[in-house]
Copies of this chain bind each other. A is one copy, B any other.
Amino acid sequence: MAQAQILSRNQQIVLDIIEKAKGPLKAYSILFNVQKKGINAPQQIYRALDKLIEMGKIHKIESKNAFVACRSSDCEISKATAFSICESCEMVDEISDTKLSKYLSSFNHKKGMKFKRFNLEFFGLCKKCK
């Protein structure tokens, strides 16, 4: 069993903000939110974000340049991510569907590529906005 990760000060501050948020947060919006805690520069945010991603605590939504907390049961290093994104309200929801994950993890590209990781982003209208 993997040992619980110990986070550094800045990593914890950044993770707290992202976990409290209702939706994806952008790096600079995180920065503005933590300036009262003594974090002043983008670098500090991006470094924390990088580590948190490595740890699988958060994910980056590539199409939005924004970051969300990982909600899947165990937060190991994430090799398989999928999200549904509402194009109206911008809501992002992590999809944890075992079948989907298995299907994609075992997907074999004709050209003989061996995959380590994938990221899938679905776009549409959520239940509310529909």
Contact = CB atoms under 8 A, between A and B. Distances in A.
Nearest to A61: B62
A21 interface: no
Assembly stoichiometry (copies): 2
A127 B113 contact: yes
Interface of A: 62-63, 84, 86-87, 93, 95, 97, 100, 103-104, 107, 109-127, 130
A86 B109 CA distance: 12
12 contacts: A86-B113, A93-B109, A93-B111, A104-B122, A112-B126, A113-B125, A113-B126, A116-B124, A116-B125, A117-B123, A117-B124, A120-B120
Contacts of A119: 63, 120-121, 123
B115 A84 contact: yes
